[in-house]
Amino acid sequence: MKNNLLKRFSKYISYATTSDETSESYPSTQALMDFADVMVEELKSIGMTEVKKDQYGYVSALLPGNSGENTPVIGFIAHMDTAPDMPGIAAPRIIENYDGKDIMLDAESNTALTLVDFPELADYKGQTLLTTDGKTLLGADDKAGMAEIVCAMEYLIQHPEIKHGPIKVAFTPDEEIGQGVKYFNVEDFGCDYAYTMDGGAIGELEYENFNAASAVIKIQGRNIHPGYAKNKMVNSQLIAMEFNSMLPEFERPQYTQDYEGFFLLIHMEGSVENSQLNYIIRDHDKEKFEAKKKQIQQIVDFLNVKYNNRLTCEIKDQYYNMREKVEPVFYVVERAMKAMGKAGVKPIVQPIRGGTDGANLSFRGLPCPNIFAGGHNFHGKYEYVPLESMVKATEVIINIATM
């Protein structure tokens, strides 16, 4: 299982599938369409049936049930794209029998995984770690999940004596830019419930996530030659700075944890004449989420009075907390907990401080909790995944399918 997982994971991350948030196409890049073709052939090669790719790049397949019983159809989902924060890696660095010490990723830039910064590394002493080269992200988010799903399906196909109900799998594009299931056909997928294999460290099991929105603030200034600017110049950059200063300082990601929400300035650009601020808004609590959106608008309204209507604000909801859709069918979570226990993994039930494809799917009639894929430090050069965690995630998939 370890060798098979390593082989598939290494193959999948060798394809550059960074999603593009500026693209107007779907999926956002041709590379994602091309990788979808690779996954179609991958699923066919292990013996899956009804393998297909649709016009939007979604890949799906069926493993028919062999139990002879009327059992629910269970789905497993992972996303094919990697985060646009930085480019991916062509091949993982493999550290066998990790010695529990700091890991130098790139000596030239002095980039290292240190126990001071990442104390959880000590938990993986003696295991096989897959890391970056210190210059790229790894792609365990979510190609570790993809490898685990494929290996689990291959194992069940190779062991027909193991009885299970019908299983569907799907691979989606553009999850990292919030568009992962924009055109996903839930009815055609045909599952009673599903799981995204898109969580972090071993044991994570999540059925709560942020309510999420984006906010774009545009500011129109007035540029005048600075030598003659008195009582005439309006510097849009200074208004932008003023706007940001009016948001609560301790509701930023670096000061929050657990169920605490935040405002995050993710991009800014500007000149005297024009400036733009791009924020994301997050909160698990729906009332607090709505209050945060209202607060953004109130600041805009205040500054418009002060500066004679120079600001515009566009707020768009992105996804909602799946808890309200999963709790009524909590046996879906309990099944995953039992499957983890059977694999010798202690479930760590916690809220997702982010979102998954499963959040949107849950609101479209497909309850979809999130299960660990094993990785750490997603979206950056410090990303790594213990191979043994991937083995356990694969076992959990098999256990869910066969319980």
Catalytic residues, by residue number, are 81, 175
Number of neighbours of residue 194 by Cβ within 10 angstroms: 25
Return the closest-CA partner of residue 141 out of 105, 113, 180.
180
Yes or no: say if 147 and 197 are a contact pair by the CB < 8 Å rule.
Answer: no
Question: What are the phi and psi torsion angles at 301 (to 5°)?
Answer: -60, -40
Number of neighbours of residue 50 by Cβ within 10 angstroms: 12
CA distance 222 to 268: 18
Yes or no: say if 235 and 244 are a contact pair by the CB < 8 Å rule.
Answer: no
Cα–Cα distances (Å) from 11 to 168, 211, 289, in that order, read: 22, 34, 40
CA distance 400 to 205: 13
Q: How many alpha carbons fall within 13 Å on the CB side of residue 323?
A: 15
Burial class (CB in 10 A: 0-12, 13-18, 19+), 346: exposed
Question: What are the phi and psi torsion angles at 313 (to 5°)?
Answer: -140, 130
3-state secondary structure of 355: coil
